[in-house]
Chain A
């Protein structure tokens, strides 16, 4: 019987009904301390430290602080130091603050070649779906499940349903994978993919870079999806080749991986088709990623929504965002710009953002920062001179971490500040209490920084 990519990975990892084996467990400081403590209380060990790896990302300052013990915020310092101690006690390898391999957990996994086709990957973080870009089954888990995987290397999991989102046509000029996924969530809703492992497909997806694929899979959770996946192909194999964790017998691995893509005629529980050619650069206006319009559009009028719950949600969102219905998105003035996060902080993202600058400077009214996703991305960008391009234009050039995506470190919005952000969530208070977030692509964010408001980058030169 023809199988989907998901079916193949799932079936190959079923230890028993409802119990799947995990090949790679990524750990960070925020969702792991209670899990390690649980092991300690029960006298349990980590079953496979050789399939587990940790880094510090959520809490770390991006000011170049070189070691955990020097983090000024006491609670953050304790949490990162706790991770270091736990890893030492349980034998788990860690790239903490100061390591040349430290970075956002979803950036360093692929960067080290740990993320490979056909694997099952888990992490106590909802953006774990990122790793599905390599044709892996990557599942976000909670802290109790982190503890369970540490102790057993298995995850209790009901088989999710499958969904395929097929894109027809091509992306227009200056329309990026970020716009594609924002438009997809806008169309399907924040719960539209709930309960499903989602495969993104179509010629357009196959033509994307690995970084673009990661951006799309990353935001699957914003559509409620259990996992996002893309069939592995030559681009995937070339990414993994020669990275530190690539398989020793690489050609044999590639042969195996070539058997992973969904078979002709395999069935999905749900299929969706989206016309990619109709997608424009997108900007969110509200407080969920599904509240999104094209940049040429305007803030919608809640009165136009049929369902009372949707109307109330839109009204509350507009009140929080301090926006009036009908305001053209391009006229919304900005205070801050953030380029970074597990969605858009890889070298390709930074190159795209830098390409928009072309000798211009950040608008006087805007404070803009660029935060590479990992120490390696930072070094690579600096070797290309991107840091100089950004600095010369008035952007702050920071050290690696989750930074202003979630405001758990000193990079936060002040009350009432409005930010164009390449991150993944525009929830109330996400980037700082009272902060207002508009999600955009790296190119759109860079252009917005230079102009002080959103611009249609297709017409902007």
Chain B
């Protein structure tokens, strides 16, 4: 994952609530075994049918409960591949939010009023370090977990970090609590 600090540019607006990941990337495109190439299929059915138009700008402004439903990370890969680097919404589905942070797609939670103002402004600047969004008409602050922010700013590999804590995991396993679960290899 590349470090991400500032995202600046035009805003694409998708003014719909409860947009689920089945819409973001329909199931027929989940059969690929690679992480790349999903951008061509972003919002496949909605874009192909002319229901929506979506410029591949740096910032996507979406409605509440964005990314609900299926845990498919393919939805985030598609948004990234299409060109989005940040998504702003009043609320995200939990799994989608986490998936964003693992792929350098910055999820920004702002209230409905701020979202409307940013949509109206048409351009914005998301500063991850400052936790602010600047736009013509104002500046608003957003909350983000310190740990997630640190990983985004430095483009850190989660697995590499956790593996460095191997001693703690070893200690947990040695303490015996890990022995209580079933053994899948002896069925």
Contacts and interface: CB of A to CB of B under 8 A. Distances in A.
A150 to B, nearest CB: 9
Contacts of A310: 17
Contacts of B33: 33-34, 37, 78-79, 82
Nearest to A195: B94
Given A148-B162, A191-B91, A93 B147 contact: no
A427 B69 contact: yes
B70 to A, nearest CB: 5
A91 B172 CA distance: 23
B27 A407 contact: yes
A53 B182 CA distance: 11
B158 to A, nearest CB: 6
A266 interface: no
B83 interface: no
Interface string B60-74: 000111001111111
Interface string B152-187: 000000110011010011001100011011111111
Interface string A383-414: 00000000000000000000000111000000
Interface in A406-436: 406-408, 425, 427-430, 433
B177 A21 contact: yes
Interface stretch (B5-13, B95-103, B120-128, B135-143): B95-103
B81 interface: no
A50 interface: yes
Contacts of A91: 185
For chain A, the bracket of interface size reads 35 or more
A145 B23 contact: no
Given A144-B158, A194-B91, A116 B71 contact: no
Given A49-B184, A140-B95, A224-B65, A18 B35 contact: no
Contacts of A114: 182, 184
Contacts of A247: 180, 182
Given A23-B178, A147-B159, A142 B65 contact: no
B146 to A, nearest CB: 10
B56 interface: no
B181 A119 contact: yes
A12 B74 CA distance: 32
B110 interface: no
Contact of A152 (B73, B93, B159): B159
Contacts of B76: 142
Given A15-B169, A16-B168, A427-B22, A408 B73 contact: no
B17 A313 contact: yes
A50 B184 contact: yes
A429 B26 contact: yes
Interface string A284-314: 0000100000000000000000000110110
Greatest chain B CB density within 10 A among A30, A37, A50, A312 is at A30
A140 B71 contact: yes
Interface residues of B, number: 56
Interface string A178-210: 000000000000110011000000000000000
Contacts of A79: 31, 33
B68 A191 contact: yes
A166 interface: no
B30 interface: yes
B86 to A, nearest CB: 18
Given A142-B95, A427-B20, A429-B45, A15 B168 contact: yes
B187 to A, nearest CB: 5
Contacts of B182: 23-24, 51, 113-114, 116, 245, 247
Contact of B71 (A142, A224, A407): A142
Contact of B94 (A13, A38, A194): A194
B14 to A, nearest CB: 13
Greatest chain A CB density within 10 A among B27, B65, B71 is at B71
A125 interface: yes
B102 A142 contact: yes
Interface in A20-66: 21, 23-24, 30-31, 33-34, 37-38, 42, 44, 47, 49-53, 58-59
A18 B178 CA distance: 17
The 9 nearest A-B residue pairs measured at CB: A23-B181, A144-B102, A75-B31, A33-B33, A142-B99, A245-B182, A142-B73, A143-B73, A53-B184
Given A34-B35, A79-B33, 19 more contacts: A21-B173, A30-B72, A49-B184, A51-B183, A82-B33, A93-B185, A141-B98, A142-B95, A142-B98, A142-B99, A142-B102, A151-B162, A153-B169, A191-B68, A191-B93, A245-B182, A428-B45, A429-B22, A429-B45
Interface of B: 16-18, 20, 22-23, 26-28, 30-35, 45, 63-65, 68-74, 76, 91, 93-95, 98-99, 102-103, 145, 147, 158-159, 162-163, 165, 168-169, 172-173, 177-178, 180-187
19 contacts: A21-B178, A31-B73, A34-B35, A49-B184, A51-B182, A144-B99, A144-B158, A152-B159, A153-B169, A156-B162, A191-B18, A191-B65, A194-B91, A247-B182, A253-B180, A313-B17, A408-B30, A427-B20, A428-B45
